[in-house]
A = this chain, B = another copy of it.
Amino acid sequence: MKMIDSLQNASVKKWKKLHTKKERDKSNTFLIEGFHLIEEAVKSETEITDIIVEQDAILPKQFNFPNVTFTYVSKQVMKAISETETPQGIAAICKKDNVEHIELTSESKLLIIDRVQDPGNVGTMIRTADAAGMDGVILGKGCADLYNSKTVRATQGSLFHLPILTSDITPWFEKIKEKQIPIYGTALVNGVPYQNVNPTKSFALIVGNEGVGVEQELLEKTDKNLYVPIYGKAESLNVSLAAGILLYYLRG
């Protein structure tokens, strides 16, 4: 059993650096925290390189992974590598799953996210896409990083449940159209209320940036652009709320 209590330890320094996207990209790993996320990672056969346990943490009985070394650390070390205010006493380093392809069929349902910057929104939308039974999520360039700790936390483990691909969006339009999957944008201007279209066995829904929405160039290439009507005095809906309402409506 290894026990680390120095903040100067090389592993600790390496783990701390995973707070930055640069280091996550370089090392092709990311850090997750808490029992729930680690269980989800294990269930989905994500490659875990280290499990880091605070020395006094009490592990659930079934928490036993024969192929992974547990590293014990002091409270101070856990605090340094954690990005939550009240660490749960357990963290793990996972290999990133660099999805490069989502297999499309004539029944595929996709969520496409264009430049949504808040990691909480990106994570919540991944969780909702999972719940709504989507077959994949495409994160366009300019979105919050999938492996940002806030994104990961907001997914509640859904990042391990469905293929999530980071890619330019435009090339995917052709692939989606080839399968005759309707593409719906979201737009307040020149859009129609979502109730004007019918639920359908396949679709790709694109939602966009919190301030400026979906890029105009993309909106011009969709089959139809939808909006969620505002019946009261609110100016708008939060993007993840709009996404949830539309995904559940469209899938019927």
Which A residues contact B (CB, under 8 angstroms)? 124, 127-134, 156-158, 161-162, 228, 230-238, 240-241, 244-245, 248-249, 251
Contact = CB atoms under 8 A, between A and B. Distances in A.
Given A228-B248, A248-B228, A130 B241 contact: no
Given A244-B244, A245-B244, A248-B245, A132 B231 contact: yes
Contacts of A233: 130, 158, 161-162
**Chain A binding site: helix, strand, loop or mixed by DSSP?**
loop
B156 A235 contact: yes
A124 to B, nearest CB: 6
A124 B244 CA distance: 13
Contact of A232 (B162, B236, B237, B248): B162
A105 B237 CA distance: 26
Given A128-B238, A130-B232, A131-B234, 17 more contacts: A128-B241, A129-B232, A131-B228, A131-B230, A131-B236, A133-B232, A134-B232, A156-B235, A157-B235, A158-B232, A158-B233, A158-B234, A161-B234, A162-B233, A231-B251, A237-B244, A241-B241
